[in-house]
Structure 1
């Protein structure tokens, strides 16, 4: 048994991070091999923009369930690369609308077939074992549970219960 699997839930987050980093590196390898200057970390913003644009920056943050600051940093980076542009929202000048540039739209066209291939490859990967097909559902259930009660609260409750019995 490997070190990580022997520790069970104690390293659950570490195992998820390792797997995530592996997937991102492999996907980046595919982009590189195809000669496409795209980074997998850009995917969430590009995907949102592929569905709706222009879109307020705050709406991107809400959709991705990440901070306004994180999206702002990503958009700034993509703007410097000439892939997106921003404009003040006509209704509220404090809000920024985000949209793909011509260069960003061309890049989107290049990456979309890879996104389809990623889905196909992941379906093949998870078809190997019945439990693997349940992985996305299980992750969604864990995400819902931690929204109801954060992990830190759960850990502290167990600590309190453990200390009360000793």
Structure 2
């Protein structure tokens, strides 16, 4: 018996979490192996800042659908490490944005090749796994969209 496969959707979340942990742990091992002082949990903020010179915590929070508090804590940690800094918004002087420091931009240049390799490895994994694996991103988007319309808690409650 393959526990996870036999139980199907009953353990869907557990399987996603297990896969996610595997990916994150291996990516962190890559950073460590290449002596890059970076943690995979920093990726969303660094990626967004690689695309925009400066951005607000609220904008990051909205884009990632993560609490403002969680992004604020991560930003504080990155600021303490010297990778980002707070600046007054160019659009509205009443607000603050964050941006990469010179140290952060230097780190970004070290991690970009890892991101490129990671994307290639994930595409390779999807190719090896067959045609259904290529559809996984579309399927996840569909589930996320459905959950935004009615959350999982309410779906379970409706069956109790």
TM-score of the superposed pair, with normalisation by structure 2: 0.94
The CA RMSD over aligned residues, in Å, is 1.2
Match of 1:102 in 2: 102
Q: Corresponding residue for 2:118? A: 118
| Counterpart Cα distance in 2 of 1:68 and 1:155 | 27
Runs of 4+ in 1 over 2 A off after TM superposition: 87-90
Q: Which residue of 2 aligns with 1:146?
A: 147
- Which residue does 1:164 correspond to in 2? none
The structure number with the bigger radius of gyration is 1
Q: Which residues in structure 2 correspond to 1:2-13 (within 5 Å)?
A: 2-13=2-13
1:131 CA displacement: 0.8
Give the secondary-structure state (helix, strand or coil) at the position aligned to 1:99.
Answer: strand
Report matched runs for 1:5-154 at 5 Å: 5-89=5-89, 91-93=92-94, 95-128=95-128, 129-154=130-155
Q: Secondary structure at the match of 2:158?
A: helix
Structure 2 residues without counterparts, runs of 5 or longer: none
| 1:77-132, Cα deviation, whole Å (9 max, x unpaired) | 00111100012335243x32100010000000011111011110000000011111
Q: Secondary structure in 2 aligned to 1:35?
A: coil
Describe the SS at the equivalent of 1:55.
coil
Aligned length, in residue pairs: 158
- Aligned equivalents of 1:127, 1:89: Cα separation in 2: 44
Q: Tell me, which stretches of 5 or more residues in structure 1 are unaligned?
A: 160-166
Partners of 1:96 and 1:28 lie apart in 2 by 30
